[in-house]
Structure 1
């Protein structure tokens, strides 16, 4: 019970930090769109960021979650700190060395890489994308170092600092956009990316260094822990590569559509990432070391309980969040982005993309914890196989939708949600069958009650929003805040009331998380 209370407290604090981080991320996007609009410059910036981000995702994001944290945590739990750091030191040194080399090569050969992520770019836009790519590649190494220190802190179950770091990263980009863009244009934002990445790493390293007394320079490739990491990494890197290929194909398709399509996809996705990051990722990340340790100690019933509770709590929050975004998509995007160079037409296009993205929010939330369930069991091959099926379907459906329908950029979002649902269902079926059940009855009852509460909530929010729209100037920011605020508060009240009448355990859990000090 004490362990569960500790986890609850950790989730609460992590959520608060994540909210601040995601809000700063929104402020970052708002400032960028107000400054540069939805056009050539923002499309070039987001396309240029794809390549460094791809390197980071493959070599750090996937390696950390799928291999390093589970293996390092297992060694800490069973073999002791000194032995764990024999594994950690070799892995960290290898990743840093690889990323430094990749960053140098990326700067030198940027003009050959950019056409792979933005095939439709020509002339001035292509030249700008190449220039931005070269400016941002150095940030890869520092972002990787920040990711590694974050993994160390999470392995020691010290989550707070690892989630504060991204706040500093966002502040760096905001600084670049506000102050440096006056002199360098959108290049100033790229410089801000580097400033943010360096600050993020230095902040986390200040706290992580106290845990690194057994760290040493060198490589020990014969250590069984390193071999285990490489065994886990290979299928994960293949799987992530497949996913990234899908994203790059989608971006290339978007680059062939109307100008601003990449930006519309980016902004709608940023909105989806807000509840996904605050709730799904934070809860899944906090319980990940716990379920990994439970598996390592053979505590399978405790694992099932912790996993089921995490999934139910995530979906209890994410499903109504998706419904709220679906209903309030236009006033929300108008409030966040319409200003300066970002027009009402830009808001309408982005809102249409968001409409088709919202179902994917729920499925991606489920995938977040399901994948960690596989990783906790040291299984990276199953998510890989499912990912390949999903990505191939995603690419084929996108080509069909763009070529044979008038959906345009909206079709990319619709296919994303559809293939994400397929991915989640397959992962859940396999994982539940392998674990001889993961308290499936409790999960499905919870989902059913949550959907019932969301129906009532959605109808009320839509009615309140439509009523207020008749009297509110859509271009007055204060009135927009009032409209969204009243609609949201009313919706939350209705949802909580129905959940209370349905006697949902998740309501008590979430209230406990929100009220815990």
Structure 2
């Protein structure tokens, strides 16, 4: 008997979002601890740090390019439609999807791993052959992650379609714990960066065991992240049985959506390709060395950028997407319109404030995250964080609009938008490289990405407004203006306190943590108070699940 997915009203949505956000919060906290241990082990700027950042980022880039977006765009609508079938064959259809997806991912991963030297050459411009060789070794160990990221996505989306949202967000906790254990062993065996700075910075001194321990445990974490999802999948009542034969099960439509999604991702990756090349090219300039932002700084800044997006936006959109797909499948335009408006307003309420807080606390926050980094490294990281975080609200709106395209299985209409966004990133990154000092090349690329999110959000929402005959754009805009004013006032007060205390790059860990806590609470109180005065009802929508949970535990 086929199990139907859970209906997604706003009450259940709040519960699901709260559950996912809590898992994401724990995962992100552990992720930052892992990042701090990594910097303690191999540093944050310089050749070795950039080589590992490149090798460990390649599987993410290639997975998102070739499989990730396609799976997310295709799988959820297809699984939702499978569970709406009246012939009782929903589980059989899903088994066929899982079989096809896993086999395709395994073949793809093998090809990508063998081609590691090619991808390192494409995505970097390190200059030093020894440094390039080290990056290739890291890539060989890390590229198998593509298969397990895919398995994680496949199983997680089936769980989501069956109404089980929490495991997908809690599984990365296991990944971080495994990776942290590996870094602990690495530090015990090979020591810290500050104790062996000259040796670690020299790519010719790295042994095979050193590379295997650092990169191998990173991959082992992704393996654990994928396989831990089999437990909740089994408990949900689903039994995976390999099924072959895909004729007549409706995969032709899925293939069309996948093709357009893949085309859009290829276009988007052109921008990422330029960004990673610009970031790695820093190592071939006279300014190369400690304190100059490269691939590793870009990776850490992007983690900070994704923190608030993951906590609320991704959790909300994941919970919304199943319902959006179901409503789009039955042609309920009014319901899709309401969900889009609700999502935009809720996401905006959080992302605008998160932008203000992180921009104000960039320096002390960078110190808390990277306790062992030098003041020059902290300055480099904070600069990139500020530039990138300014694009957070637009990125949230663009992500919300994307889900509506995917719900209608209309990846084709997004392609012109993605082309425009990629052109902005490419032109902006190259312009920054031509006009700025090498120490600001990564910041210039971050600014180009911020601008591209704005372009994507505006054009995508205009297109959705035409498709849905509106989505309450006036109400959404009024909300953004009010939260912008409240966040601006809170930011002004927070900035004054930070500079009164002294939140500079050379601030110690304890003082930086105190600044973050005091200023964060002050800005939150001012922001929430102003929203209450302005009667912003969306604040209650965002806080109600959390307050309900606190009330139950009291």
How would you bin the TM-score normalised by the shorter chain? over 0.9
* Aligned residue number for residue 344 of structure 1: 375
Within the candidate set 53, 61, 76, 1:46 is matched to: 53
Structure 2 gaps, min length 5: 1-6, 191-208, 283-287, 550-554
Q: 1:215 Cα shift?
A: 4.3
**Closer, same or farther: CA 212–334 of 1 in aligned 2, 3 Å:** same
Within the candidate set 445, 452, 455, 2:488 is matched to: 455
- Relative to the length of structure 2, the TM-score reads 0.88
With 177-186 and 394-403 compared, the bigger mean Cα shift is at 177-186
Separation in 1, partners of 2:101, 2:175: 21
Separation in 1, partners of 2:366, 2:128: 29
Q: 1:90 Cα shift?
A: 2.7
* Aligned residue number for residue 242 of structure 2: 217
* Aligned residue number for residue 156 of structure 1: 162
Per-residue deviation, residues 431-485 of structure 1 (Å, max 9, x unmatched): 1121100111211111111111112111111111122228x99543222211111
- Relative to the length of structure 1, the TM-score reads 0.94
* Aligned residue number for residue 388 of structure 1: 419
Q: 1:275 Cα shift?
A: 0.2
* Aligned residue number for residue 489 of structure 1: 521
* Aligned residue number for residue 508 of structure 2: 476
Per-residue deviation, residues 43-65 of structure 1 (Å, max 9, x unmatched): 11121123322332234421222
* Aligned residue number for residue 171 of structure 1: 177
Q: 1:494 Cα shift?
A: 0.4
* Aligned residue number for residue 312 of structure 1: 345
**What aligned pairs does 1:241-256 form with structure 2 within 5 A after superposition?**
241-256=266-281
Check whether the contact 1:41–1:186 (CA below 8 A) recurs between aligned residues: no
Aligned length: 513
Check whether the contact 1:90–1:226 (CA below 8 A) recurs between aligned residues: no
**Closer, same or farther: CA 322–473 of 1 in aligned 2, 3 Å:** closer
Within the candidate set 94, 98, 110, 2:100 is matched to: 94
Separation in 2, partners of 1:443, 1:79: 38
Check whether the contact 1:115–1:121 (CA below 8 A) recurs between aligned residues: no
Separation in 2, partners of 1:171, 1:228: 40
Please report the RMSD computed on the Cα atoms of aligned residues, expressed in angstroms: 2.1
Separation in 1, partners of 2:15, 2:403: 21
1:303 maps to 2:336: yes
Separation in 2, partners of 1:13, 1:210: 18
* Aligned residue number for residue 441 of structure 2: 408
* Aligned residue number for residue 205 of structure 2: none
1:76 maps to 2:83: yes
Check whether the contact 1:87–1:223 (CA below 8 A) recurs between aligned residues: no
Separation in 2, partners of 1:498, 1:210: 45
With 207-216 and 296-305 compared, the bigger mean Cα shift is at 207-216
Check whether the contact 2:14–2:542 (CA below 8 A) recurs between aligned residues: no
Separation in 1, partners of 2:8, 2:60: 39
Q: 1:119 Cα shift?
A: 2.6
Per-residue deviation, residues 241-265 of structure 1 (Å, max 9, x unmatched): 2212221221011111245511111
Per-residue deviation, residues 16-49 of structure 1 (Å, max 9, x unmatched): 1111111111111111112111222221112112
* Aligned residue number for residue 321 of structure 1: 354
Separation in 1, partners of 2:37, 2:225: 20
**Closer, same or farther: CA 121–481 of 1 in aligned 2, 3 Å:** same
Q: 1:221 Cα shift?
A: 3.1
* Aligned residue number for residue 206 of structure 2: none
Other structure's SS at 2:229 match: helix
Check whether the contact 2:76–2:161 (CA below 8 A) recurs between aligned residues: yes
**What aligned pairs does 1:41-440 form with structure 2 within 5 A after superposition?**
41-79=48-86, 82-180=88-186, 182=189, 184-210=209-235, 213=238, 215-257=240-282, 258-259=288-289, 260-339=293-372, 342-406=373-437, 407-440=440-473
With 435-444 and 95-104 compared, the bigger mean Cα shift is at 95-104
**Closer, same or farther: CA 188–461 of 1 in aligned 2, 3 Å:** same
Check whether the contact 1:30–1:336 (CA below 8 A) recurs between aligned residues: yes
Check whether the contact 1:86–1:220 (CA below 8 A) recurs between aligned residues: no
**Closer, same or farther: CA 424–2 of 1 in aligned 2, 3 Å:** closer
With 307-316 and 47-56 compared, the bigger mean Cα shift is at 47-56
Separation in 2, partners of 1:261, 1:171: 26
Other structure's SS at 2:9 match: helix
Separation in 2, partners of 1:480, 1:213: 48
Separation in 2, partners of 1:222, 1:58: 27
With 329-338 and 117-126 compared, the bigger mean Cα shift is at 117-126
Check whether the contact 2:63–2:150 (CA below 8 A) recurs between aligned residues: yes
With 185-194 and 239-248 compared, the bigger mean Cα shift is at 185-194
**Closer, same or farther: CA 296–106 of 1 in aligned 2, 3 Å:** closer
